[in-house]
Amino acid sequence: MHELGIAHEVLEAVRKEATRLNGQRPTKVGVRIGELAAVDPEALHFCFDALVQETGLAPLELEIEFCPRRHRCPQCNEVFAVVDYAVACPRCGNPRTEFVSGDELELAYLEVSDYEPLATGR
């Protein structure tokens, strides 16, 4: 259940960014989570929604972009999503392919409204 700590870090990042916004209000924060990140999106939403109430940033929405595991074939350069641990290249059959992405735990974007002032400067 480390999603609580992760939700806290996401909100900290938003809080820091919000101080630079000149009165614009953050409405949505986007994060990218890879299938190998060991983070459960549902648990993260649950923790985020609970914590955001305490921050003065509410209402603030969390959007999670789930990123599949991707590999690249060093022989034919095909980049493909790995489904059910099948890492062989679907194009040329090469069994030895290289990990490209899928362990993301990254901040992606912040959506801000132009019209509402920030409710709190915390």
Partner 1 sequence: MNRLPLEGKVLKENDRIALELRERYAAHGVLCLNLVSSPGSGKTSLLERTLEHWPAGERVAVLTGDIQTENDAQRLRRFGFPVKQITTGGTCHLDARMIQRALEDWRLEDLDLLLVENVGNLVCPSSYDLGEAAKVVVLSVTEGEDKPLKYPSMFFKSELMVLNKTDLLPYVPFVVEKAIENAQRVHPQMEVLKVSCLKGDGLPQWMQWLKRRRDTFLTTLPASANRS
Residues interacting with partner 1, by CB under 8 A? 1-2, 5-6, 9-10, 13, 17, 24, 27, 29-31, 35-39, 85, 87, 95-96, 103, 105-114
Taking the complex as a whole, the smallest distance from the CB of residue 120 to partner 1 amounts, in Å, to 19
If the CB atoms of residues 20 and 121 are measured against partner 1, the closer one turns out to be 20
- Residue (of 43, 74, 57) closest to 13 by Cα position: 57
If the CB atoms of residues 79 and 105 are measured against partner 1, the closer one turns out to be 105
Taking the complex as a whole, the smallest distance from the CB of residue 7 to partner 1 amounts, in Å, to 9
Q: For residue 14, which amino acid is it?
A: V
> What is the distance between the alpha carbons of residues 17 and 88, in angstroms, rounded to a whole number?
42
Taking the complex as a whole, the smallest distance from the CB of residue 74 to partner 1 amounts, in Å, to 13
Contact between residue 119 and residue 110 where contact means Cβ atoms under 8 Å apart: no
Contact between residue 44 and residue 11 where contact means Cβ atoms under 8 Å apart: no
